[in-house]
Structure 1
Amino acid sequence: GLGALLFVAGRHPAVTIAGTLVMGGVGTLLLVMIQATLSDRHGAQRATAITESNMLAILCAGLLPLLVGLFEGTPLGWRGAIYAGLAAGIVLALTNWRTPIPPRRPRTVQQGSGRLPAVFWAYWSVLLLSVSMEWSLIGWSADFLNTVVGLSVTNAAMLVSVFFFGAVLGRFANSRWTRFVSPRKLLLAMLLVVAIGFPLLWLARLPAINVLGLGIAGFGVGSLFPLGLSLALAVAADEVDAASGYTSLGTGLAMLV
């Protein structure tokens, strides 16, 4: 909240940059805590909980540009979108203040050293690559649709939303499927979906097929992170806080890649 207030109220670059740093640091810490808490609370059903939380996260991310546009015509301007987020956070805090936080799970004798198992790092690598792929598609697809497919700049930018729609749909579907299908099998299935969608985006000569490929790729790519995260936290259940921290670090590195 403090970082957001510095960002919207600041009139000097030093203040707004400081607000951005605070939001980024605290936001990352919050992400680590949420992931670890969901894993502890839901146990064997962590894949469903994490996928549902990621579905809501991407929906909120998609709402931000809409809110900015809506508030731009009001006296608050674009800052109204930030104030709306702060208000929503306060409401959530007040309505969930008494929700108990699950106690830390006791360590097993075999994994009491604090080290994360080797298989965790395998899933960590999957997360790193999948997030890199997701952000690359987000950042590159509009330019590709414009310069290669031949769509106008406006239409190309607008049709990137097909990727987000596919990602939301994929996360919703997988949140249902994880109730009766192994997350590992779903992860492999989503990799196959990406392998089908990306060639359509890359190689097709009809704009409609390119856009369809983008949506199919979004369906698969958008589900890789929550599924991979649930598997990574499952194999490191005795060190879930450290595991969640390392996955968030990997996500940040992936965005830089």
Structure 2
Amino acid sequence: MQLKKTNIEDKLKALKRKGQMETKIIDDVKAILDADNKKDEEILNTLSSGHTSDHNDFVFDLLETDRIYHISQIKKTCVNYRLRFLDTKLFKGELPYEAISKIKQLEKAHNTELKGFKIIAPAKLFKLEHYDDPLLFAPIGNGYYYLIHKWGNDLSAFRRAIMWPVRDFENFVFCMFILSILLTAAIPEGVFSNKATAANAGIVFLFVFKSVVAAVMYYGYLSGKNFSAVIWDSKYYNT
């Protein structure tokens, strides 16, 4: 059997075609990566610029219902645990890539560009303006928000109990009342009066109560603190 002779020109053309195909594949991959990086930058710009919006054009049938929350539920959670619910432009923590990836997935699935992002997080994670563990949301509309991504560590199991006294004015007064009773009971008899009578005890209690409330409120004023029910959606540090 006679072997077919090798045509060098054909071999060159084959190598040329192969090289062109490889170059096209590389160019296609590069174009995909460039487009993906451009989309990442667009999402980051949207998150950092804080374009305000109260709704997005979601396809409702594609939403996971266990990720939909009403503003009243968000407010109650923020008040109970002393958290803030603010625009992403005020967030100074690092946004994980998983959050950006989930935004891209949602935008592709719903064929829309999301905006109006907000985050639930402790105040220390925001760049708050002076009056003188995070969850990323996007608004759906009518006071409803869609949870996109949660990251970081969970809150302490005791945070709600610790923050209970500063949840609102009523809780504050109740805690100061109980604290004043305990402090009054701890004062030895005869310090303010020779006789231990109910009237004297009442006077001592009122003195202690006013002193405790004044001291705590003065400290709160100096440090720019306020009740959780007031600051949960405030962008200011001392209001």
User: If each structure's strand is expressed as a fraction of its own residues, which one has the higher value?
Assistant: 2
Mark the structure with the bigger radius of gyration: 2
Greater relative CO (CA pairs within 8 A, separation 6+)? 1
TM-score by length of 1: 0.21
TM-score by length of 2: 0.22
